[in-house]
């Protein structure tokens, strides 16, 4: 969970095949759009910056922007659908008899960027994610979607009977874990990248379990 930041890409454990030229090119353009957007966000604020302004400053069309990002919010938060699916897959891959807390903690580790990347960029994304009012609705939507994805496996690990829809207790468990994850990222950003988000997450979970 070290250096987890909104907008960061995730890795798949054991992935060693080098990226293709097309993938490297895509990553380079993705990084350039992100850097351009962050500059505009710093100059004008997240709320006041439009997709058209980002596209124009990056030298691409509006259509090309949406080839890389579903929305301005996704530029900051990342592809929440793909990230949620990656966490779910990691959770279900954990040993069947592993308890719920260590299982979800391990699953969250897929959110670690594949490399350290640009620390200043990661910090800027995390701060925007925390401060921009319009992102709060996106954050709530992400949490609700991830509850649906993760609750079924957590429900089984909690020893709760299977149900057609996730048990409220399992959803509450996932909501608490996500809140601890958000707190860890916020603490990491507030410390200018010096705090250990894993330690903050573990301390938050320890309080919840007390």
Secondary-structure percent of the chain, ordered helix, strand, coil, rounded to 5 = 70, 0, 30
Note down pLDDT in tens along the chain; length 210 residues: 544 555 544 334 444 567 788 888 888 999 899 999 999 998 999 999 999 999 999 999 999 999 999 889 888 888 788 889 999 999 999 999 999 999 999 999 988 766 555 788 888 888 888 888 888 888 888 899 999 999 999 999 999 999 999 999 999 999 999 999 999 999 999 999 899 989 999 999 999 887
126 occurs within a structural domain: yes
Phi, psi (degrees; rounded to nearest 5) at 6: -55, 140
State the residue range of the domain holding 154.
21-209
Residue 10 inside a domain? The answer is no
Residue 47 sits in a domain of what CATH number? 1.10.357.10
Structural domain includes residue 88: yes
Q: Does residue 105 form part of some domain?
A: yes
Apex CA 32: angle with CA 30 and CA 34, to 5°?
Answer: 70
Tally the C-alpha atoms within 13 A of residue 32's C-alpha that lie toward its C-beta: 14
Q: Quick check: is 89 in a domain?
A: yes
Angle 4-147-180 from CA coordinates, rounded to 5°: 40
Q: What total number of domains does the chain contain?
A: 1
Contacts of 124 (CB under 8 A, 6+ apart): 38, 41, 42
**pTM of the model as a whole:** 0.79
- Within a domain: residue 137? yes
Q: How far is CA 82 from the centre of its chain?
A: 10
Q: Show Cβ contacts of residue 34 under 8 Å, excluding neighbours closer than 6 positions.
A: 7, 75, 121, 125
- Give the whole-angstrom CA distance, residue 124 versus residue 46: 11
User: Assign residue 49 a region: left if phi > 0, alpha if psi is -120 to 50, beta otherwise?
Assistant: beta
Domain assignment present for 110: yes
- Domain-embedded: residue 15: no
């Amino acid at each position: 969970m070290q250096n987890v930041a909104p907008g960061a890409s995730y890795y798949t454990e054991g992935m060693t095949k080098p990226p293709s030229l097309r993938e490297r090119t895509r990553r380079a353009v993705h990084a350039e759009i992100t850097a351009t957007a962050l500059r505009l966000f710093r100059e004008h604020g997240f709320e006041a910056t439009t997709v058209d302004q980002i596209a124009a400053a990056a030298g691409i069309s509006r259509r090309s922007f949406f080839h890389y990002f579903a929305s301005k919010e996704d530029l900051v938060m990342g592809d929440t659908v793909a990230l949620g699916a990656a966490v779910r897959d990691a959770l279900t891959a954990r040993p069947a008899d592993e308890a719920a807390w260590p299982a979800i903690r391990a699953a969250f580790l897929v959110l670690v960027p594949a490399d350290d990347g640009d620390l200043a960029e990661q910090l800027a994304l995390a701060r925007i994610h925390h401060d921009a009012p319009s992102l709060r609705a996106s954050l709530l939507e992400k949490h609700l979607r991830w509850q649906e994805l993760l609750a079924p496996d957590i429900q089984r690990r909690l020893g709760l009977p299977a149900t057609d829809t996730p048990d409220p207790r399992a959803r509450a468990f996932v909501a608490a874990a996500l809140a601890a994850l958000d707190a860890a990222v916020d603490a990491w950003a507030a410390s200018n990248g010096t705090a250990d988000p894993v330690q903050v997450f573990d301390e938050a979970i320890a309080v919840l379990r007390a």
